[in-house]
Amino acid sequence: MNRAQHEKLTALVSQPVNWQCRLDRYTSLSIGGPAEAVVKVDRRQELQPLLAFLAEENIPWRVIGRGTNLLVKDEGVTGVILILGSEFKTALKQSTNDTDTTIVRVGAGYALAKFALSCMEWGLAGVGFGCGIPGTLGGAVIMNAGAWGGEMSSIIESVRLTTAEGEERIARKELDFSYRCWNGFAAYSGSAVVSEVELELRNGEPNDIKQYCSVLQNRRKNAQPCEYPNAGSFFKNPANDSAGRLIDASGFKGLAVGGAMISEHHGNFLVNKGGATATDVLNLMKMVQAKVKIDSGVYLEPEVHFI
Ligand SMILES: Cc1cc2nc3c(=O)[nH]c(=O)nc-3n(C[C@H](O)[C@H](O)[C@H](O)COP(=O)(O)OP(=O)(O)OC[C@H]3O[C@@H](n4cnc5c(N)ncnc54)[C@H](O)[C@@H]3O)c2cc1C
């Protein structure tokens, strides 16, 4: 970016821009080289003019949530990384004619686990699977995040996108999700931010919902290692099997390449045991994919996104 672009970008947002900012501090794997700029967008009204400016100037950009499903290259990324700030972290309950359900409008920057806990207090059921998933609602929509048989696609009423041109609301019937993916977003990739989501939740008894959430939280504590930085399940589970089981069967638990290691506790957790680079992670990933393909005939598709 040239000087004029620096000045314009700085003027478009209320928060100071972080220039040449390393992204390791924005990812749960603690890996990632610098972006030209990291921009926190606090105000809703800032987002569309910012996207219009980036489009006009042909500056590449990417919005991230909490970076809990991301591997960022060691050499970093060209352009701007956007992060949704305070005005994208609100939740508003809306009254409906239906006494069984409640619609909640949630900003895409809201943390999913925190939102699940709020719903527990409000007596709203359906998002309990999100207790313990450490990303934002925006990331969860893109990933169709889920656990223990629940997933985002089953509770989404609509998604609001912001683009350089304005806002667009996509209703449930037009949304096309599959396992850990909102397929339809590919058509918008690089041009739209998920800015808000409307969820339809069931009205329930706070105590029943609390009990259900605490069962899920305990299961998560037992199943998932958190001894080192990681990005959750690294690979998608193949149909009718588990990536962790296949990786374990190929003898990879505890295997390390540089600072990257397959967790000793969970075969599908690729962890940063200290000083790992993105290259270490990619080399380990390729080794795992090749050996599992030979041993089990299964190609393991990464769940993690690469930027
Ligand atoms: C310990 C641990 C446990 C986990 N457990 C689970 C689990 O049980 N189930 C599960 O599904 N996942 C799990 N994950 C993975 C991760 O938390 C989810 O995929 C989460 O939804 C990602 O959200 P995020 O905000 O961190 O997204 P990011 O990782 O920041 O981004 C993911 C993708 O979404 C895009 N994106 C993010 N926000 C937006 C937006 N507002 N608009 C447009 N694009 C956007 C990014 O560009 C990127 O392509 C786990 C991760 C960790 C570290």
Model confidence pLDDT, tens digit, residues 152-192: 999 999 999 999 999 999 999 999 999 999 999 999 978 99
Model confidence pLDDT, tens digit, residues 196-238: 999 999 998 888 888 888 888 888 888 776 789 999 999 999 9
Distances (CA, A) of 37 to 17, 42, 154: 7, 16, 36
Residue 232 Cα to ligand 1 middle (Å): 9
Residues with CB under 6 A from ligand 1: 28, 62-70, 84, 108, 133-136, 138-140, 142-143, 145-147, 180, 193-194, 224, 230-232, 305
Q: Which atom of ligand 1 is nearest to the CA of 112?
A: 21
**pLDDT, the chain, mean:** 95
Beta-carbon neighbour count of residue 104 at 10 Å?
22
Task: Note if 25 is an active site residue.
Answer: no
pLDDT at 129: 94
Mean pLDDT of 257-285: 96
**Within 13 Å, how many C-alpha atoms sit on residue 201's CB side?**
32
Mean pLDDT of 74-95: 96
Does residue 16 register a pLDDT over 80?
Answer: yes
Residue 22 Cα to ligand 1 middle (Å): 19
Least confident of 34-48, 162-176, 215-229, 251-265: 215-229
Task: Note if 303 is an active site residue.
Answer: yes
pLDDT at 225: 63
Residue 65 Cα to ligand 1 middle (Å): 7
Q: With CA atoms as reference, report the closest residue to 184 among 237, 240, 141, 132.
A: 141
Cα 52-9-31 angle, rounded to 5 deg: 100
Q: Is the pTM of this model over 0.75?
A: yes
Where do the domains of the chain lie?
3-87, 89-223, 230-306
Residue 269 · residue 234 · CB < 8 Å: yes
**The 3-state secondary structure of the chain, one letter per residue:** CCHHHHHHHHHHCCCCCEEEEECHHHCCCCCCCEEEEEEEECCHHHHHHHHHHHHHCCCCEEEECCCCCEECCCCCEEEEEEEECHHHCCEEEECCCCCCEEEEEEECCCEHHHHHHHHHHHCEECCHHHCCCCCEHHHHHHHCCEECCEEHHHCEEEEEEEECCCEEEEEHHHCCEECCEEHHHHHCCCCEEEEEEEEEEEECCHHHHHHHHHHHHHHHHHHCCCCCCEEEECECCCCCCCHHHHHHHCCCCCCEECCEEECCCCCCEEEECCCCCHHHHHHHHHHHHHHHHHHHCCCCCECCEEC
Nearest CA to ligand 1 atom 4: 232
Residue 28 Cα to ligand 1 middle (Å): 10
Q: Which atom of ligand 1 is nearest to the CA of 226?
A: 1
Task: Note if 301 is an active site residue.
Answer: no
pLDDT at 90: 97
Does 3-87 carry CATH code 3.30.43.10? Answer: yes
Residue 268 Cα to ligand 1 middle (Å): 16
Catalytic residue among 30, 195, 233, 250: 233
Does residue 117 register a pLDDT over 80?
Answer: yes
Residue 180 · residue 144 · CB < 8 Å: yes
pLDDT at 130: 95
Q: Which atom of ligand 1 is nearest to the CA of 146?
A: 11
Phi, psi angle pair for 298, to nearest 5°: -110, 130
Whole-angstrom Cα distance, residue 97 to residue 105? 16
Same fold, 3-87 and 89-223: no
pLDDT at 95: 75
Ligand 1: residue of 68, 127, 153 to mutate (most ligand atoms within 8 A of CB) is 68
| CATH C-level class of 89-223 | alpha beta
Percent of the chain with pLDDT over 90: 87
Q: With CA atoms as reference, report the closest residue to 298 among 232, 241, 234, 231.
A: 241
The two three-digit tokens of residue 299, written as one number = 């190609």
Name every residue whose Cβ is closer than 8 Å to that of residue 199 and which is 6 or more positions away in sequence. Answer: 103, 104, 106, 126, 127, 155, 156, 157
Q: Which CATH number fits the domain 230-306, given the four candidates 3.90.78.10, 3.40.50.300, 3.30.200.20, 3.40.50.970?
A: 3.90.78.10
